[in-house]
Amino acid sequence: MKKILNFPVPFLKAYPLVWIAVFVVLVVADLSTKKVITESLNFGLSATQRMQAGVFTNQGQPAEIDETNYVPIWGEQGKYIRLRLVFNDRFLFGSGPSAPVLGIFLTAGAIIFLFFYRWMTYGAGHPVAWLFVFSGAMGNLIDKLFVKSLETREWVFSFGPREGHVSGVVDFVECIWFGLDQFRDVFLLKWLAWETWPIFNLADSLIVVGIVILIITIGFAPEEKTESDSGAGN
């Protein structure tokens, strides 16, 4: 066990105070934007989410549920970019089955693994890349721990679905994509046929940018100066 927990550098060298402070700022920024969006836009729910929330069993349905509601940002009627509130209770790019509880444990496990991996392999990958990945992952994890009330729009701490509430990560930025229908049946190129990029949030953006930076910089570890090196220059 000692060998496993034998880290090459102290904690505050792997995760400096400035790094931690910016991490907190980014997580707060992500959650703040999500909270503002849930208080401002109508809820767009999938059929599964409507069933879990008990919408079909209640008399009528809450006025805030409207999948067509959006706010245009760029282009006529938001042709290029618009805000539309949905809740992703699935996995990467909204794929896979609805599994809000499993998603909590998978995200938490990934964060713990990456935390120790970064510490054990200190120097591999740019610190900003790790900052972005950790901030985005933590923002989405905290989001997953809360269900959103259809009646009051409040965030309520819960590990699982609750009637009158919707589970899932708050996504709200929708962008136009290639929409190339000729690739719709090509397995590896289906993403080119998407009319829009999967709706995302600030945390998702941080994760994607962070991973790209990591891929570019992961093999370039900085050289640590030793006392003999510094003495040789005198």
163-173 b/e (C-beta count within 10 Å ≥ 16 → b): ebbbbbbbbbb
Task: State the Cα–Cα distance between residues 200 and 233, nearest whole angstrom.
Answer: 51
Catalytic residue among 30, 89, 143, 204: 204
Task: State the Cα–Cα distance between residues 143 and 34, nearest whole angstrom.
Answer: 8
Structure tokens at 47: 């059929």
Q: Is 143 a catalytic residue?
A: no
Contacts of 82 (CB under 8 A, 6+ apart): 70, 71, 72, 73, 74, 174
Closest CA relative to residue 132, chosen from 144, 140, 143: 140
Catalytic residue among 30, 89, 171, 185: 171
Give helix 17-40 / helix 202-217 axis angle, nearest 10°: 140
Task: State the Cα–Cα distance between residues 197 and 122, nearest whole angstrom.
Answer: 34
Strands (E), the chain: 71-74, 81-88, 146-149, 155-157, 165-166, 169-176, 196-200
Task: State the Cα–Cα distance between residues 168 and 100, nearest whole angstrom.
Answer: 6
For the chain, the C-alpha Rg in angstroms (whole number) is 21
Q: Is 171 a catalytic residue?
A: yes
Active site residues: 171, 204
